[in-house]
Structure 1
Amino acid sequence: MAVIGIRWLDQLENLLAPYPMAYPAVVLVALLLLAWLANFLTKHILLRGLRKVIERFSGPQHSAHHSLRVVARLANIVPSVVIAVGLAIVPELPPGLVKGLQALAHSWTVLTIALAVSHALDAFNAFYERRADARNKPIKGFLQVAKIVVFVLAGLSIVATLAGVKLLHVITGLGAATAVFMLIFQDTILSLVASVQISGDGRVRIGDWIEMPSQNADGDVIDIALHTVTVQNFDKTVTTIPTKKLVTESFKNWRGMQESGGRRIKRSLYLDQHSVRFLDAPGLERLGQFHLLDDYLASKQQELGQWNAQLAAQHPEPVNARRLTNLGTFRAYIERYLRSHPDIRQDMTLLVRQLAPTPQGLPLEIYCFAPTEWATYERTQSDVFDHLLAILPEFGLRVFQESSDAMLMSVREQRIAPRD
């Protein structure tokens, strides 16, 4: 077959001998057609066959997209190899032109291999992210560093090929430019160090809820890359945070709250201090109807009765006696109400306390934990305070509310309203 091909080329050369440059042009066009045919057969036959093989062994539910992209990139090497080899047999081409075209073909081969390696790293990352522990140990940043190294080496190789020198000489010549490269890639180096720290100590993982006011970020982490960490805020906007910021600046990670299963409620009722008083007999009788206060009132009245009985011998005046207050009884009611609430975590801290009085009233703080799911948490918190605000008057207490001119305006409108 080879002998027949050589004879056919000799006959074609003799036929086109009267026409200068006709035979080289025909051979060059045939070479280009051969390169195109090799590329076409590789992509349309090899890729289809590989797709069927992958779907047969892994099932059609697993995408072969990344694997086929690697093969498609490698398939582009075939035409460049055909051209690089075939240029040597094209007659009457200047040696300098042949050398330059072969250098371009070799450069294209190097670039194609670099792109194929990049797609292979993407395929490995996609495979790794299907693991259960991938969220805790992301490797995307490290793979991006590997891509940078691959493309830098490919660029140096292309420069060496086009310049006609050895790659080692180009790398040696870059030693003097190390400081310049350090300055150019300082963000990449800092981001790499930050990525290593984040991956090592697990301070941020995909799916974490983080809050970073300096970067206007308040939402879930959806991607951790070499240079940026992407956060989808709760208003569905997306914020990108430089990776190094998560090492050099403070932020809040709510993962501990989510893993604990309880989200804190820390909120105060501001009471009017003028409404605090001792409970009289009718008040005690009315509050005795609350089943949550049965044990509290009984034990407290017994305790106070014993105390006052011992004190009465020396100081029988009523002012010296200890008595129940509506505020203390309300505080005990709140604690028992929270202890009986089905959505309040009973295995976590639960307390009701008074804080220092403020110009806005006397803070009565509720400190407890509710379910972490956002909607359930807000519903539980609202239900608790709805109930407490509604039942507050039963204890003779009032919430403090800053005065406004709304009531005065209403009185003035009544005064100036025309009479019939």
Structure 2
Amino acid sequence: MDGFDVFILDFLRHTAGVSESMLTWLYPLTAAFAVALFSYVCTAVFRFIVMPAVQKLTERTKAKWDDYIFNHRVMKAFRRIIPPVIWYVALPLVLTHSPGLLSFLLKVCNIYLVVVSLLFVSAFLHSLYEISEEHKKLRNRPLKGVFQMFDLLAFVVGLILIISIIIDKSAISVLAGLGASAAILMLIFKDTILGLVAGVQLTANDMLRPGDWITMQKYGANGYVREVSLTTVKVQNFDKTITTIPPYLLVSDSFQNWRGMWAAGGRRMKLSVNIDANTVRFCSADDIARFVEKGYVSASQYADAGFPVSNTQVYRDFMIGYMRSHPDVNKDLMIMVRMLQPTPEGLPVELYCFCSFTEWAPFEMFQSSMLDYAVVMAREFGLSIFQRPAGTDLKG
């Protein structure tokens, strides 16, 4: 840079007419301004020539990942790194005679370089997260917390570097000094640390994905997972309210995930009809013949039974046959009708099967129609549904 020094000195002495006494402080300022101007020109070239060229190049490729890696946010963050890099290289060459000013400017330059580097890392991580959202195998993974963890880690490293620059100590010395206040740091970042560990467990064990329907009655959560971050899990309940739960509670406490229901292709229906015990009786041969005409049961089922057949047994067999032939019942999963323990409200007959509909509204329609059919058909078998007497029943 000797030629640059001579050029600046000649310009100040002969062209600008600066006296020798003023050169001692005017030359460093002029040299620093020239370096800043050069960095501005380089940044402008990158902004108006390189960035548009890269954008056109990425648009021509068939791959989508480069659209995220080289998007405007990442390129803008990278553009901010150019000036401090140029300052860091050029200032020691032009300010050899001003060590005090050089030391101050380099310190400012290093701090600024760390800050813009953190912004670039954050933008780059965000682009990687967007790529994962487009990937078929990764889009349903709770990776947002993982990327937030790396973002936080970069921030901590940057903060340590900035402190070390300000106090003129090595980063290792600063880190050793922070070890003495580890308890305070753990208290401040308690939720973040717990969320980090929980996020790793949730991801590694595939316990939770965005879009899962979870139930956690203890905290009023019953809906779809909308976001899994480092410190919160947002659940949109069916009443459209939002419940936020710290991730570590999902690991330390129990919650119900309904993802297996969709994977199995069936939603469980478990209903019971209370039969009046006074209407339970044995069936005659004529009763069996009459019940067989209704379908779903055959006379051969009871021909060699060896014991009297009750109307509740035929009713249960009838409902099993009906559910097995129903088009909306998943035949690959459990289908069962059973008699439960008698109660003061009657003899409960439980209908158990899995509906092919997993969405709420179609499932409720199926469940209601199945209950209606079970109640109506009970009368055909001489059975009465038990219910407590109402005021109108007691008028007589």
In the superposition, the TM-score normalised over structure 1's length comes to 0.79
- Equivalents in 2 of 1:238, 1:49: separation in Å? 44
Q: SS of the residue aligned with 1:14?
A: coil
> Which of 8, 11, 17 is residue 8 of structure 1 equivalent to?
11
- Equivalents in 1 of 2:292, 2:153: separation in Å? 78
| Partner residue in 1 for 2:261 | 257
> Which of 144, 152, 155 is residue 148 of structure 2 equivalent to?
144
Residues 45 and 240 of structure 1: is their aligned pair in 2 closer, same or farther, counting only changes over 3 Å?
farther
Corresponding letter in the other structure for 1:263: R
- Larger displacement relative to structure 2 (151-160 or 53-62): 53-62
TM-aligned CA deviation for residue 172 of structure 1: 2.9
TM-aligned CA deviation for residue 370 of structure 1: 1.4
| Partner residue in 2 for 1:313 | none
TM-aligned CA deviation for residue 147 of structure 1: 1.8
Residues 356 and 39 of structure 1: is their aligned pair in 2 closer, same or farther, counting only changes over 3 Å?
same
Residues 77 and 11 of structure 1: is their aligned pair in 2 closer, same or farther, counting only changes over 3 Å?
farther
- Larger displacement relative to structure 2 (229-238 or 343-352): 229-238
- Larger displacement relative to structure 2 (80-89 or 266-275): 80-89
Larger radius of gyration: 1
Identity of aligned residues (%): 34
- Equivalents in 2 of 1:223, 1:98: separation in Å? 48
| Partner residue in 1 for 2:367 | 381
- Equivalents in 2 of 1:169, 1:11: separation in Å? 50
Kept after mapping to 2: 8 A contact 1:135/1:207: no
Matches within 5 A, 1:216-231: 216-231=220-235
Matches within 5 A, 1:45-60: 45-58=49-62
TM-aligned CA deviation for residue 390 of structure 1: 2.2
| Partner residue in 1 for 2:323 | 338
- Within the alignment, does 1:234 sit opposite 2:238 as a pair? yes
Matches within 5 A, 1:70-219: 70-81=74-85, 85=90, 99-135=103-139, 137-219=141-223
Q: SS of the residue aligned with 1:400?
A: coil
Corresponding letter in the other structure for 2:263: E
- Within the alignment, does 1:246 sit opposite 2:250 as a pair? yes
- Equivalents in 2 of 1:200, 1:98: separation in Å? 50
In the superposition, the TM-score normalised over structure 2's length comes to 0.84
Corresponding letter in the other structure for 1:13: A
Residues 249 and 280 of structure 1: is their aligned pair in 2 closer, same or farther, counting only changes over 3 Å?
same
Residues 187 and 64 of structure 1: is their aligned pair in 2 closer, same or farther, counting only changes over 3 Å?
closer
Once the two structures are superposed, residues 138-186 of structure 1 have per-residue CA deviations (whole angstroms, 9 ceiling, x without a partner) of: 4433332222221111111112222233333322322322333233323
Give unpaired runs (5+ residues) of structure 1: 308-321, 412-420
Residues 325 and 170 of structure 1: is their aligned pair in 2 closer, same or farther, counting only changes over 3 Å?
closer
Kept after mapping to 2: 8 A contact 1:221/1:229: yes
Q: Number of residue pairs matched?
A: 390
- Larger displacement relative to structure 2 (234-243 or 336-345): 234-243
Q: SS of the residue aligned with 1:129?
A: helix
TM-aligned CA deviation for residue 96 of structure 1: 5.1
Kept after mapping to 2: 8 A contact 1:218/1:233: yes
- Within the alignment, does 1:399 sit opposite 2:363 as a pair? no
> Which of 312, 336, 339 is residue 354 of structure 1 equivalent to?
339
Corresponding letter in the other structure for 1:328: Q
Corresponding letter in the other structure for 1:196: V
Residues 53 and 10 of structure 1: is their aligned pair in 2 closer, same or farther, counting only changes over 3 Å?
farther
| Partner residue in 2 for 1:314 | none
Give unpaired runs (5+ residues) of structure 2: none
CA-based RMSD of the aligned residues comes to 3.4
TM-aligned CA deviation for residue 64 of structure 1: 3.8
- Equivalents in 2 of 1:132, 1:184: separation in Å? 37
Kept after mapping to 2: 8 A contact 1:210/1:251: yes
